[in-house]
């Protein structure tokens, strides 16, 4: 399964639930033991947080991700009520990059 939800769906109602998302890396911020990825699709943006303590493999994959990579993440939705109502995070168990390979030249006619 490619995804269970779109990036615009995770909200407080999904807190604690397992989801799978797929989309483009909009931005990535590396803070050592934590990496923050803003994952976007046509429906919205969700923040993905990887932790080297909770899931070293997901953290390593998240640290290697670059802007505009297509990735799939699976994890548990977290929600911080101290932040703005639109803030949601995914604590992933896996981050799978799907980089676009190959370069094809366009036909000129």
Distances (CA, A) of 24 to 21, 59, 89: 10, 17, 16
Tell me the average pLDDT across 44-54: 88
Residue 99: CB atoms within 10 A of its CB come to 10
Note the pTM of the prediction, 2 decimals: 0.74
Residue 29 has pLDDT above 90, yes or no: yes
pLDDT tens-digit map of 66-109: 998 888 888 888 876 444 333 445 556 556 666 554 445 555 65
| 4: in domain | no
The parent domain of residue 16 ranges over 12-93
Split into its structural domains, the chain has a count of 1
Q: How far apart are CA 88 and CA 49, in angstroms?
A: 10
| 32: in domain | yes
What's the chain's average pLDDT?
A: 78
CATH no. for residue 72? 2.40.50.140
Q: Given pLDDT bands bounded at 50, 70 and 90, which one contains residue 25? A: very high
């Amino acid at each position: 399964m490619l995804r269970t939800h779109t990036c615009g769906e995770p909200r407080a109602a999904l807190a604690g639930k397992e989801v799978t998302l797929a989309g483009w890396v909009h931005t990535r911020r590396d803070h050592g033991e934590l990496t923050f990825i803003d994952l976007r699709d046509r429906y919205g943006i969700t923040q993905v947080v990887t932790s080297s303590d909770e899931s070293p493999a997901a953290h390593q994959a998240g640290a290697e991700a670059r802007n505009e990579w297509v990735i799939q993440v699976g994890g548990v939705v977290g929600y911080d009520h101290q932040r703005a109502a639109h803030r949601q995070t995914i604590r992933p168990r896996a981050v799978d990059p799907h980089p676009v390979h190959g370069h094809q030249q366009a036909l000129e006619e």
